[in-house]
Amino acid sequence: MTEEGLDGARIRVSEEEPDPPIEHHVEDWLAFAIFWGMAIIVFLQFFTRYVLNNSLAWTEEIARYLLMIITFVGAAVAMRRGTHISVEVAHMFLPAPVVRVLSFIIDVLLLGFVGLLCWFSISITRLMQIQTMTVFPWPMSIVYGGIAIGCFLMLWRATGRLIAGAKRGWRPDPNRSELIID
């Protein structure tokens, strides 16, 4: 496509590709909110310790708890994107029918593992109801409940992965790019 410039010369202008749509997912927004909450608390800790020379006692503990929660919520984000670390060398050297069976076994084992993770997270959340945080008189089950939410988000995404794999017959996903850049 060409346009005429100010001096009358013709300028070649290429059309821009449209931006890909922004996806809005629960785990993305939750991770975003937890991350910025943690960043504000850590900055508050830094400011009160090094500028005011009078540190707030609760900031370190709450930042640690938020880091624990964001780890599991972030794992749900990685589960959705399919970016968890994995060993795929067998996929390169095995024949396609064997790779399909292997992919099925991996998805079933993954779903079972994340299901167990959910079950253990609920069990520990119930047990931690009687223990309180060090600085606040709140039950530790709040922290472990946040971890359980991350585990259930992972379970939801692992179930979606299993269903998508079943619909494709555990063949490689044609829509998945090799390099994921955000």
How far is the C-alpha of 145 from the C-alpha of 91, rounded, in Å? 37
pLDDT of residue 23: 75
Range list of β-strands (E), the chain: 2-4, 10-12
pLDDT per residue of the chain (182 residues) written in tens, 0 to 9:
555 556 666 666 567 777 767 778 899 999 999 999 999 999 999 999 999 888 888 999 999 999 999 999 999 999 998 888 777 777 788 888 888 999 899 999 999 999 999 999 999 999 999 999 998 999 999 999 999 999 999 999 999 999 998 998 888 777 766 655 55
pLDDT of residue 157: 95
How far is the C-alpha of 123 from the C-alpha of 68, rounded, in Å? 17
Compute φ and ψ for 32, nearest 5 degrees. -60, -50
Are 174 and 144 a contacting pair, CB within 8 Å? no
Helix, strand, or coil (residue 1): coil
